[in-house]
Structure 1
């Protein structure tokens, strides 16, 4: 039963990603949106790449591959640490904040539509169960 639960979680993740990516999130993917969302909640709208990787569940190299195009289109920018030049941060840019806020409206709408059949109590229980598995965004 446990393996079927895990496999179903993976399948649902794939289905949800396809549904989100099939709709317009203002020109960004669901993964891009997740990164902008996490940065928007971080102190100073910035995080170290390794912390961003940990918060998304991706690898550091995976974050680097995703961040490069976001930097090129101006949604995120590199930010340095005043105390330690070896440490660099990924920071949500002004343009990235604008796109994030616009995409949030659409993402909220899509999320509500996808979870429409769930009672509020069930959704809260499900959310808490996901948190216990590490889904703590």
Structure 2
């Protein structure tokens, strides 16, 4: 077996694996904490919060459903399943494109904006507490690494 057939080993590969394992654990712990608190205080899960966050940051408070799916790393049907309960409680609405009936948008409503603002205060507190003494520089550096992993840039973050 040639060297190209060998699994990556060595300190660099071990460090990368260790980082990814820690990142997965941190995501699970933080996600559960955000889910529990946002759910009990505001009635939405963290996934709902992230969806509302992306809509609120988009031009006109709306995104094509396919673009929303990409930002949430979901399938088109996953986005539909996520949007339905939010539509029922009036946090998001559907909007069609008058020029192309095949294109559908998800739009954050006024009620969604209000709830998002209140939930953001809660989420900020949890995140700040969870990140402890991390400096803004450390967070920026980690944000770049995580963005690279997720294929994110300023237009889709």
Q: Do both proteins adopt the same fold according to a TM-score greater than 0.5, normalized to the shorter chain?
A: yes
The CA distance in 1 between the partners of 2:74 and 2:24, in whole Å, is: 15
The CA distance in 2 between the partners of 1:125 and 1:64, in whole Å, is: 34
TM-score (norm. length: structure 1): 0.92
1:93 and 2:109 matched: yes
Q: Measure how far apart 1:14 and its partner are.
A: 0.9
Q: RMSD across aligned C-alpha pairs, in angstroms?
A: 1.4
Flag structure 2 segments of 5+ consecutive residues without an equivalent.
1-13
1:102 and 2:118 matched: yes
Q: Equivalent residue of 1:95, what SS?
A: helix
Which of residues 60, 63, 68 in structure 1 aligns to 2:84?
68
1:46 and 2:62 matched: yes
TM-score (norm. length: structure 2): 0.81
- 5 Å-filtered alignment, 1:74-85, equals 74-85=90-101
The CA distance in 2 between the partners of 1:63 and 1:129, in whole Å, is: 26
Q: Write out per-residue CA displacement over residues 2-50 of structure 1, whole angstroms, 9 at most, x where no aligned residue.
A: 3333232222111111111121351111000000000000111111111
The CA distance in 2 between the partners of 1:123 and 1:133, in whole Å, is: 15
Higher relative contact order, structure no. (Cα contacts within 8 Å, ≥ 6 residues apart): 1
**Greater than 6 Å deviation, 4+ residue runs:** none
Aligned to 1:14: 28
Q: Measure how far apart 1:75 and its partner are.
A: 0.5
Flag structure 1 segments of 5+ consecutive residues without an equivalent.
none
Which of residues 3, 7, 17 in structure 2 aligns to 1:3?
17
Q: Write out per-residue CA displacement over residues 79-135 of structure 1, whole angstroms, 9 at most, x where no aligned residue.
A: 010111121111101111111111111111111111122122211111111122126
Tell me the matched-pair count.
137
